[in-house]
Structure 1
Amino acid sequence: MTETAARLLSNWIVAQVPQHANWLRQSLEGLAQGAPDRDLYIFLGLAPRKLGKADLVLNAADLANANAARAGWSPSGWSVDGAARVLALLTATSNRPFAERFKDLRRTSDVAEMIALYRGLPLYPEPEALDFEVGEGLRSNIRAVFEAIAHHNPFPQDHFDDHRWNHMILKALFVGSELSPILGLRERANPELARILVDYAEERWAAGRAVTEELWIPVRPFADDPAIRDKLADAIGKGHLTEEGLL
């Protein structure tokens, strides 16, 4: 899968900035042959200057190929330099575990680099070894970094336990992030999350604040749960919620 994803990324980048194809190829060849970490850091720093920061131009066939390479992977919205940074991580070889290199990169990266690092999560080897670093990204106060993990990324759906999943959904609400771009929002619904979201809605209503309709997506499968049913009925009775809103 990783080789296919790397090949796709390389083809897309070269198609968009063919004038820099030689630089990209030579740089990646060095990284693939075990160049020191310093060379990887230099590449990551040069990528936006060499390749630009334009959006990666992809058509429907490109997106279908991405999904075939890794189910759920959608590089729509990626930038050219961001794609190159992920490609470099997939290409570089080292005696050090991947998670150690990722940790060092995260600690020294700027926001754009961090977004690229986290968008590449579904493509990296040893995903279970990245648990701590993913947690750090979820705790970020920078919404774009949080969304690099939470939005259009199959990694959380595939690797988070219910506790971390529920925390991510709740934080998305707290930071004003949309829920619908979260892959698995329906499939990963669970009773504990449904109860948490109903309590969150009650707090919002008590403060005179609105609740996004997306919140009910993971609640609906558990609307008949005794711990939830009465609260929903009370909310409908008070005019905070309509029965249609739960459909």
Structure 2
Amino acid sequence: MSKTKTSPVLYQADIYEASSFLKSLVEKHVTPQAQQWLSEKTAMLSSETAQPKDLYLAFSAAPRFVGKDKLALTAQNLETANTIRTGFNPSHWSVAQAARTILLLSFPHQNPDDFLATIEQLFNTADMGELVALYAALPLLPHPESFKKRAAEGVRTNMGDVFEAVALDNPYAADYMEEDAWNQMVLKTLFVGKPIYRIYGIEKRVNPKLARMLSDYAHERWAAGRTVSPELWRSVGPYLDANLLPDIKKLFEQPNELEQQAAALACSQSQYAPAKELLNEHAALKERVTRGELTWDLIGNRHLALN
């Protein structure tokens, strides 16, 4: 189920479409003067004479001209974003992020090595806000396969906002990240208390190593008298076996309703006969799963609301 050893599948967004879409969003939030500034900078960066320093200066200056307000997006905006690039979700982006991404997409990218070197230099000198914009923009950038190591580095950061830009609402990780980096990202998301349901592609990147890691993490938490997020079991269910099933039995025995629901969903994901039998023993929960009343996203949202 995991895409790790094979050649990367290219998910290249249409640069013009992405830029036009983001520009339409920015224009709703900024002054005519800011629009003019952005138009001038994109025109300059699109020219054959554009230099990396031109991008660096404009990228750094963008918030001063367009502001840092959050984008106000409609459901139609989000549908359009997903059409431009599957999984692209700018619902938590700021106006400055969108403007910075437009600048990135304006810079010449015909030479992959030159483009990569330019973006890498931006990463190396960026402050936190700039890093957030860079990591969130990865799924839209030309030559996306070139940034796998950079994305893995983002997972290791101690800056919470930067980690979220890599891990949450960003399809890049699911599409390109190596298995070990992906697994560390999922585990860290739980460790820092962020919602798993906002990790794009969480189902398609399940793997047995991650299931074991998550079980070990749960045991460490339990041994210390602590709880674990019921979302943890989302990547465990498909790999239930004799070693992992006792964890699910423990969940069914908990007074916490969300943990019981997570146990039922985990069993419903499994082809392991004892897991199916265990779910049959909890008929009411099984019926709710069958009717679609219980989902991982619902559990994640409820857990987040309670914590």
Q: TM-score, normalised by structure 2?
A: 0.75
Alignment partner, residue 101 of structure 1:
118
Alignment partner, residue 11 of structure 1:
24
Change (3 A) 1:61 1:238: closer
After TM superposition, give the deviation of residue 243 of structure 1 in Å.
Answer: 4.9
Mapped to 2, the partners of 1:23 and 1:70 lie a distance apart of 27
Mapped to 1, the partners of 2:213 and 2:21 lie a distance apart of 40
Mapped to 2, the partners of 1:62 and 1:38 lie a distance apart of 32
Alignment partner, residue 228 of structure 1:
244
Moved more, 164-173 or 146-155: 164-173
Which of 46, 52, 77 aligns to 1:32? It is: 46
What is the one-letter code of the residue matched to 2:127? D
Change (3 A) 1:89 1:204: same
User: Counterpart of 1:227 in 2: which secondary structure?
Assistant: coil
**Residue 152 of structure 2 contacts residue 177 of structure 2 at CA under 8 Å; is this kept in 1?**
no
Mapped to 1, the partners of 2:189 and 2:204 lie a distance apart of 17
Which of 68, 77, 100 aligns to 1:53? It is: 68
Which of 139, 161, 168 aligns to 2:156? It is: 139
Change (3 A) 1:69 1:209: same
**Residue 251 of structure 2 contacts residue 263 of structure 2 at CA under 8 Å; is this kept in 1?**
no
Q: Map 1:201-216; keep pairs closer than 5 Å.
A: 201-216=218-233
After TM superposition, give the deviation of residue 238 of structure 1 in Å.
Answer: 7.6
After TM superposition, give the deviation of residue 230 of structure 1 in Å.
Answer: 3.8
Alignment partner, residue 129 of structure 1:
146
Alignment partner, residue 66 of structure 1:
81
> Please, which runs of 5 or more residues in structure 2 have no aligned partner?
1-13, 265-307
Moved over 3 A (4+): 230-233, 235-245
**Aligned-pair Cα RMSD in Å:** 1.9
Mapped to 1, the partners of 2:57 and 2:208 lie a distance apart of 47
User: Counterpart of 2:121 in 1: which secondary structure?
Assistant: helix
User: Counterpart of 1:16 in 2: which secondary structure?
Assistant: coil
Mapped to 1, the partners of 2:252 and 2:160 lie a distance apart of 35
Change (3 A) 1:203 1:28: same
Mapped to 1, the partners of 2:17 and 2:261 lie a distance apart of 45
- Residue 77 (1) aligns with residue 107 (2): no
Identity of aligned residues (%): 39
What is the one-letter code of the residue matched to 1:206? A
Mapped to 1, the partners of 2:247 and 2:84 lie a distance apart of 44
Change (3 A) 1:243 1:176: closer
Q: TM-score, normalised by structure 1?
A: 0.92
Moved more, 139-148 or 91-100: 91-100
Alignment partner, residue 178 of structure 2:
161
After TM superposition, give the deviation of residue 98 of structure 1 in Å.
Answer: 2.2
Count of paired positions: 245
What is the one-letter code of the residue matched to 2:151? V
